[in-house]
Amino acid sequence: MAQHPQVATAPAGTPTNLSQGSKTKGGIGESTLRPDGTLKVTGEFAYSSDMWHEDMLWGHTLRSTVAHAEIKSIDIGEAVAMPGVYAVLTYDDLPTEVKNYGLEIQDTPVLAHGKVRHHGEPVALVAADHPETARRAAAKIKIEYAELPLITDEASATAPGAILVHEGRDDHHIGHVPHPNIVHRQPIVRGNADEAAARADVVVKGEYTFGMQDQAFLGPESGLAVPSEDGGVELYVATQWLHSDLRQIAPVLGLPEEKVRMTLSGVGGAFGGREDLSMQIHACLLALRTGKPVKIVYNRFESFFGHVHRHPAKLHYEHGATKDGKLTHLKCRIVLDGGAYASASPAVVGNASSLSVGPYVVDDVDIEAIALYTNNPPCGAMRGFGAVQACFAYEAQMDKLAAKLGMDPVEFRQLNAMEQGTIMPTGQPVDSPAPVAELLRRVKAMPLPPEQQWLAAGEEADVRALPGGLSNTTHGEGVVRGIGYAVGIKNVGFSEGFDDYSTARVRMEVVGGEPVATVHTAMAEVGQGGVTVHAQIARTELGVTQVTIHPADTQVGSAGSTSASRQTYVTGGAVKHTCEKVREKVLELGRRKFGSYHPAWATAELLLEGGKVVTDGGEVLADLVDVLEGDAVDLELEWRHRPTEAFDLVTGQGHGHVQYSFAAHRAVVEVDTELGLVKVIELACAQDVGKALNPLSVVGQIQGGTTQGLGVAVMEEIIVDPKTAKVLNPSFTDYLIPTILDTPTIPVDVLELADDHAPYGLRGIGEAPTLSSTPAVLAAIRNATGLELNRTPVRPEHLTGT
């Protein structure tokens, strides 16, 4: 008997301000199916690596083989002479004085000049008529390097006389950082942690290490640049934010932004790894130089060098608690390795510090987070963005404290859980539901999977259900079970005073005898399901069934980034807002055409439902077809969430965040203590989503985020050789991501407590589940083995002491 797809459970609290005109089929709250689903299952959906153009060339990037060196010379002679090669470009060929780019700090060279700062940095570009020709030509470029000393950690970065990764910094952080090899520093001081520590009956300290995780999206960095007749370029590319790319690309090319026309092509996952530019400028440079369309597709090896990773971190934590289990204070120091270029490091620092306390009430804190410049691979945005590293540490601390006090770890967390009204360490009150204790209660209440699942009555052990699986390493002897819990807090949207707006264009007209709405935004659909939800919002607000989603491009205003769990909130909010204004215009049109026929046009609240104009009493006044016949309503509007403010650079105080989201996990693991192999049996999640606009997609996002957290708990890590700063495992053979055999059942309990400040009461959902799944798995492994385990990922040698 098949189990039909699981959807979200019924809400616990029923918000009062959520539903509106849901009589139109396919509106919000329904599990509407993806509009791109059919194309994706037939293989017709055009991802960025599928783009093709008549007479197209292939671009290839030559990357540095060393991590830190002066470039003494580059000889492109042999490469240029190869048959089939159309162009070879180096730093000297850049067309303008703008030779760097960056999200916040423009410190990243388009092509290395003078020196390279990390292994895999782009040095030269080739365009040729076959990808293999381009690769072979690049291999013939001769570069002479003079290697420099390496900066690889905090000690080497801040040592007396340390070489500066970036000399002559002039960015706005340089004035307040203690050393030029520190990108940004954010302290948070509230209350008096030293005085509070004196009240503590128990104090626990811990040092935690979080490895470098990769986004490992499956669709490689790729795109197609086509030179246009006006001297500009059209770029079809997979990205998370078209307008941010455009702002960085145009100056390097020496073109006004209107001459760089960008269209989103199919995106095969992102998870933060497409916030920074990869091949965008390179493809445009080659296309403009050769006058031909140029496609660049990274292979997996290059992809590991082509995007920034999750910051590895060292976290030093000290907590105290009274003997009745109340937290007294937190002192912590978080050191994030940002690698060679700044990318999103400043914002990651802000998140790591402001969320370092977790979803708990602690009045007295002394917090510091920094990000380093080193010669390691650049790190930036990845799902969870600074909050993930902190959650790993504070959740380990909660378990240590509970153990020291002899308390149940879940009850200890509940005793200290924040709630609506709690003041964050930044001084900001939490002004929407914060059901931390309830989420923990829910995951704890879920039924546990049966013990020793590998044994079915009267049969031999099914090794597939055991740690080691088909490798047949055990039949159950030496296998022990453990259970662990964790909960986390993540901010939603861009924080610290960022003008975090989005834009939507909505058009309503009659097409083929039916009212049709067209929604045009620049939102990057990266798999999260925004395109599905935008159609649902338009149906709900405009009462039409037919909604066309216009392809995302730069012909409409910016939608901001598909990151920070913000797109449904912000671009969804922009679609809702614009639809509301379109609705007003449609009603004005109706009043002009039909107002004299019925007094309700002037007196009643009017809605659009089921293709008709109806009164709030349900009386139908007109068909939308008749109202719109011969006319079209078309509006493009921006929409913003509530403003935020920067954190004070000394005290860390400030209303920096818009909204928080919360998730809790319970992990059940089985560990083969002899071989050090872990099998995660179940990873249950409870999350508050405010309002599930599409329950099917919500659960999918939570399960996906949970699995990425599982990955970093037990297998995922980019390994950088500390002696050479070279990446040792840039492939899917050596960088492991969870397979379907590594991933357990993930039951999901969805709570819907409306945030009154957000559209429909919704809450950003994509990132929170990535926070707590890692510490929950670690807690379960500790529970099974009794080991301390202060590092993630956990490897067999950590479990066997070998």
Residues 608-637 that bind another protein (CB under 8 A): none
CB 488 within 8 A of CB 779: no
The answer for 680, left when phi > 0, alpha when psi is -120 to 50, beta otherwise, is: beta
- Smallest gap from residue 577 Cβ to another protein (A): 23
DSSP 408-468: -HHHHHHHHB--TTPBPTTS-B--S---HHHHHHHHHHSPPPPS-TT--TTS---GGGSTT
743 lines the binding site for another protein (CB under 8 A): yes
Q: CB-based burial of residue 497 (10 Å sphere; 0-12 exposed, 13-18 middle, 19+ buried)?
A: middle
- 428 lines the binding site for another protein (CB under 8 A): no
Least distance from C-beta 37 to another protein, angstroms? 4
DSSP one-letter string for 665-731: EEEEEEEETTTTEEEEEEEEEEEE-SS-SSHHHHHHHHHHHHHHHHHHHHT--B-B-TTT--BS--S
Q: Measured from the CB atom, is 506 or 684 closer to another protein? A: 684
x/- contact string, 230-249, with another protein (CB under 8 A)? --------------------
Taking the complex as a whole, the smallest distance from the CB of residue 630 to another protein amounts, in Å, to 24
Binding flag, residue 269, another protein (CB under 8 A): yes
Residues numbered 137 to 156 that lie near another protein (CB under 8 A) are: none
Beta carbon of residue 266, minimum distance to another protein (angstroms, whole number) = 8
Please tell me the count of residues contacting another protein according to CB under 8 A.
76
Residue 83 near another protein by CB under 8 A: no
Q: Cβ neighbours of residue 382 under 8 Å, at least 6 residues apart?
A: 213, 215, 271, 272, 273, 308, 309, 310, 388
Amino acid at 145: Y
For residue 706, state whether it binds another protein (rule: CB under 8 A). yes
Q: Which of 746, 753, 778, 799 binds another protein (CB under 8 A)?
A: 746
* Dihedral over Cα of 412, 484, 783, 332: its sign: negative
Q: Which two tokens stand for residue 585?
A: 């215009």
Nearer to another protein, 487 or 547 (CB): 547
Residue 98 token pair: 């703008």
How far apart are CB 3 and another protein at their closest, in Å?
A: 6
By C-beta, is 296 or 621 nearer to another protein? 296
DSSP 271-307: TTTTSS-SSHHHHHHHHHHHTS-EEEE--HHHHHHHS
621 close to 589: Cβ distance less than 8 angstroms: no
Task: Report the residue number, 35 or 427, with the smaller CB distance to another protein.
Answer: 35
Tell which residue, 116, 113, 125, 146, has the closest CA to residue 62: 125
* Residue 730 is a binding residue for another protein (CB under 8 A): no
Does 456 engage in binding with another protein (CB under 8 A)?
no
46 binds another protein, rule: CB under 8 A: yes
For another protein, the closer CB: 503 or 703? 703
In contact, 129 and 137? CB cutoff 8 Å: no
DSSP state of 494: -
**Segment contacting another protein (CB under 8 A): 118-126, 293-301, 751-759, 779-787?**
293-301
Q: State which of residues 268, 346, 543, 590 lies at the interface with another protein (CB under 8 A).
A: 268
Least separation in angstroms between residue 767's CB and another protein is 14
Single out the residue of 378, 704, 775, 793 in contact with another protein (rule: CB under 8 A): 704
Query: Which residues inside 471-510 make contact with another protein, applying CB under 8 A?
Result: none
Residues 208/317, Cβ–Cβ less than 8 Å: yes
Instruction: Determine, following the binding rule CB under 8 A, whether residue 258 of this chain makes contact with another protein.
Output: no
Which of 14, 17, 41, 291 binds another protein (CB under 8 A)? It is 41
Closer to another protein by CB, 47 or 145: give it: 47
- Does the footprint of another protein cover residue 306 (CB under 8 A)? no
Per the document, the length of the chain is: 802
Q: Is 774 exposed, middle or buried (0-12, 13-18, 19+ CB in 10 A)?
A: buried
**Interaction between residue 533 and another protein (CB under 8 A):** no
Which residues are paired to 128 by β-bridges? Answer: 58, 85
Q: Nearest approach, Cβ of 749 to another protein (angstroms)?
A: 14
Q: Does 3 bind another protein (CB under 8 A)?
A: yes
Shortest Å, Cβ 663 to another protein: 13
Site membership for another protein, residue 728 (CB under 8 A): no
Identify the residue among 84, 95, 595, 700 touching another protein (CB under 8 A): 700
Query: Quick one: 10 or 740, whose CB is closer to another protein?
Result: 740
Of 36, 27, 701, 108, nearest to 384 by C-alpha is 701
Q: Is 35 in the site for another protein (CB under 8 A)?
A: yes
- Least Å distance, CB 504 to another protein, is 19
Which among 32-40, 153-161, 580-588, 784-792 is the span making contact with another protein, rule CB under 8 A? 32-40
Query: Identity (one letter) of the amino acid at 649?
Result: L
- Rounded to an integer, what distance in angstroms lies between the CA atom of residue 768 and that of residue 773? 9
Nearest to 578 by CA among 637, 535, 520, 526: 637
Q: Taking CB under 8 A as the rule, does residue 696 contact another protein?
A: yes
Binding another protein (rule: CB under 8 A), the pick from 10, 43, 457, 513 is 43
Runs of H (alpha helix) within 461-566: 530-542
Q: Does 535 engage in binding with another protein (CB under 8 A)?
A: yes
Q: CB 732 → another protein: shortest distance, Å?
A: 4
User: Binding of another protein at residue 561 (CB under 8 A)?
Assistant: no
Which helix (H) or strand (E) covers residue 263, if one does?
strand 260-264
User: What is the chain's percent helix, strand, coil content, to nearest 5?
Assistant: 30, 25, 45
Asked if 309 interacts with another protein (CB under 8 A), we say: no
